[in-house]
Chains A and B, each alone.
Chain A
Amino acid sequence: MASIQDFAQCTTDVYNYYGDKPEVDIQEREINKQPMTRAEKERRLYFETKSSASVEFPYWYTRRWEELEGEIPIIRRAEALKSGFSHLTPALLPGEIIAMRKAVYLRGSYPMPWLSEMFFLAKEDELYKEAQKMGKTSADEVTTMGQGGGNVTKSAGNVISIAGKFGLRKEEMPALLKIAKKWFNKSVDDVGHKYEQLVPDYQTKEEIMRAVICMFDSGYTLPQGREVMNYYYPLQYGIEGIKRICHEKQDQSAGYPDMDRLYFYKAVHSMLEGMQTWILNYAGEARFMASLEDDPVQKAEFLEIAERLEWLSENKPRNFHDALQLVWIFHVAVLNEDAISGLSPGRLGQVLYPFWKNDMENGNLTREKTLELLEAMRMKFTELDCFASMGVVGGVLSGNTFNNLCIGGLDKDGNSAANELEMLILESAMSCATPQPTLSLLFDEKLPEEFLMKGIECTKIGTGYPAWVNNRVAMEFLLNNFKNEGLGLEEARAWSIGGCLETSPGSWMPLEFDGQTHYIPGGSAPATSVGVHFISLPKVLEAVLFDGIDRRTGRRVYPAHGSKLETYEELWTVFKKYFSLTVEVLTLTNNIQHDIWGKISPSIVNSMLKPDCLDTGKDISHKGCRYNRTFNVEICGGVNLANSLAAIKKNVFDDRNFSMETLKLAIEANFGYHSALESGSFSLTEQVKTDNYKNWLKIHKLCLDAPKYGNDDKYVDNIFREWQHWFSGMCEKYRSLYDEPMYSCQISVSTHGPMGAVTLATPDGRLCGTTFADGSVSAYPGTDRNGPYALFNSATCYNHALSQNSQLNMKIHPSVVKGREGSRKFLEMIKAYVRKGAFHAQFNIVDSRMLKDAQKNPDNYRGLMVRVAGFTQYWVELGKQIQDEVIARTEYEQLG
């Protein structure tokens, strides 16, 4: 087990490792490929480009919204979106072969004050102060943003920094403030807040938010996302074809009962007209750019873009390039209707395969040209930004947007779905290594070995993708949770990952192309990771120990439990009580927020795309999707909770090494160390002792020496398993807005940073303010000392299909997986884990010393990427809370 001496040793070595100590020199990753000229040029430009916000879309949206006062809400919303789309300034760079973007800037985004207007107001503003009082800014205040890369962390010259990330031209600020104030008391945030206060015990919710026991609200922050796109309708019918469907459906619903259908079809029609104008504006810009061009090759490319966009503004795609362009247009269109993270393209290689295969067979496309297009697509996804508050964009997303592209899995008939285009998707992800789209390989024993080895080759480049996900566990989860809505085995095979790691149901849709019917997979459920957003388990435990008080702020969060906590069972009972209270009040308040979202700001573009909204005339917020049970309860810090409960059980109750009161004093004294905030380091390594250190040394050692998860130790693993079973069961007692039971979701994203920052030392020996263990089944850094297979045994001590996901991060030294033999060994290790019933594993193939060097010399590492928890991000764009945690993760120097 880890001891304080071990951690002192770590201070010298700067990182934790398992196995033999690595060689003296920092080891490079084995495989290092380069993009083709076109993508390389765009990537260089990307590296020099800052995240930038504009006011254009919110201006035109708001102007039209005000004009239509009194109109039916969904029509008003569609017209506002139409106006926004129609007025976006088109921008086209030389060398682009996939056109169009979210906003005028390369990394462009914009505020959506109709969702929430408070966080980007000046801190002196009265509205901002109101938000502070409600605890809505608490997560912002404890989040650290990455200081490098494309983040605009400080205002300078004519540029104002918002949320520590986005630059806004100073000239646009007065307009933004004026527009924001027009939405005061009208936004989803404000109206939702008005009504959520009607929930009995609402004050507890505010205290939970203020204490950062919950990371953030759901309905107005990122109301959509963590879901899988469905591109079927545009690919099958084209935009004019969908408009025709809307016309026919309008005729069938006008004047008949359930009139909401009429307004939905009218809204979709209007919105599509706005999209057509948007596309044609880009076509016009392409022709203008061509008119300025002397280079005949570039001129021809601009004209080709113009012709393609003009065609696609009405028609369905003719070939692979058309199809890829149309997919991108609709992807961006959905992102422009809401603040969204985790809008995943899903199994895109299978969706586009009929077009690609046809082009290849007819000699209209080469592998080289395919790679060029796929690299261009990677750059497009990488350039996406999501405008949100610091707590959301930094504390949760780490600046990422989580567009997960899945490969592999099974087809409709249960055979391997892997194809040649997916091999090229893997190749392009290696040559053009960028954070987006991240890849997940849906592992199934039926997948060919060649495909799996290609996946391993890609994983070895060190960017953290593909993540390896167990197809069968996901299908079992879906069949358990969506059978009441009619999901069967065949449809379960159409699943994909939405967001970083949210298992999402899909459907097989009959695409007719080239005289054949191809069943393509696509998402058929609304957003998930809506509901209860990230409950900090160690913080709940802290409240249990201190009788319902948040010791950081001194405020009462929960009613005093009055229990003396004289037995472990008593402690566990109170923990369950506080946790249940948290889930209950957050479920109710977030249901209200989502109801308001559906009334004020319903989804139009995404609703149109998702089966079966277009058939039924119901949008997403009226259960128009085929599968609607997607609300979940997310948690963070589960491993620290299990380790802490084990430490208490062992030291206080079993061995009686010290009393609960003594433990509480030790926690308040932070075991004799300065807090992470004071030391500036957020992992257990490199912490600074106080003069009282020796007073707490023995207790701290006992806490660190207590059984730790990740070592195949039944003492702690049984506690972990008990938690998992209870948690998954209790979620089902709570009902979502759509009157479906909730389920458990276990990903940390980046929340383990800011949530750790507000938490005192924990009974497992973790120090105050340091980051929690990442993911859900990753070991706490430095505490997994018995090798990977012991970690796997701990991780699979419960049934992973009980939950929407589990998440395991491992850091492996590049030398361990070197060469063909290393690849084989690596693949066998993953297979062994999956065969134990594990859901997911992902890997950083990196020498920790390189990360340490990158922290000191960020300018030398602009392109360095790491896997955090379900996503890959540029090192320089991560906050220090997360950087320190990634460095501290145990580095595996051997796989056996």
Chain B
Amino acid sequence: MKHYDCKYFLMTDVFKGICKRDKTTIFADDAACENFEKARKCKNCNNFTTTDDDLGLCMNKFMAYPEMNAITCNDFNG
């Protein structure tokens, strides 16, 4: 588990960001802490299935990719 996958990770750029809880600067690819909670991403959604090209399908219909944020997706089913 990485900060990158955490609900409380506020990205400032592709390398790093800020923890929304304690406001410290953290690196996206560093290991997450004990307060980790899964972010709403496609890979954490029951409507998402992986395909063999590092991508996936949303609702078996639309191309999607696992790391995409789904915080604004009305169809998210986590």
Contact = CB atoms under 8 A, between A and B. Distances in A.
B14 A89 contact: no
Contacts of B20: 289, 292
A106 B13 contact: yes
A55 B11 contact: no
Contacts of B10: 91-93
A169 B54 CA distance: 13
A89 B9 CA distance: 12
B69 A89 contact: yes
A174 interface: yes
A719 interface: no
Contacts of B73: 87
Interface residues of A, number: 40
Contacts of B64: 59, 175
A89 B76 CA distance: 14
Contacts of B54: 171, 174
Given A55-B65, A292-B21, A105 B55 contact: no
Contacts of B1: none
B62 A63 contact: yes
Interface residues of B, number: 27
B69 A104 contact: yes
B14 A105 contact: yes
A108 to B, nearest CB: 8
Contacts of A179: 63
Interface string B7-43: 0101111110010110100001100000000000000
A168 interface: yes
B14 A152 contact: yes
Contacts of B29: 157-158
A88 interface: yes
Given A49-B12, A106-B12, A292-B20, A172 B72 contact: no
Contact of A171 (B8, B21, B23, B67): B67
A94 B14 contact: no
Interface string A93-115: 11000000000111100000000
B72 A87 contact: yes
B21 A56 contact: no
Contacts of B63: 63, 175, 178-179
B56 to A, nearest CB: 9
Interface of A: 45, 49-53, 55-56, 59, 63, 86-94, 104-107, 152, 157-159, 167-169, 171-172, 174-175, 178-179, 277, 281, 289, 292
The 3 closest A-B pairs by CB, nearest first: A167-B14, A175-B65, A171-B67
Given A174-B53, A281-B72, 18 more contacts: A52-B13, A52-B14, A55-B65, A56-B68, A56-B69, A63-B63, A89-B69, A93-B18, A158-B14, A171-B66, A172-B65, A174-B55, A174-B65, A175-B55, A179-B63, A277-B72, A292-B20, A292-B21
24 contacts: A49-B13, A52-B13, A53-B14, A56-B69, A63-B63, A89-B71, A90-B72, A91-B10, A91-B11, A92-B10, A93-B12, A94-B23, A152-B14, A157-B29, A158-B28, A159-B14, A167-B15, A168-B14, A169-B28, A175-B65, A175-B68, A178-B63, A277-B72, A281-B72
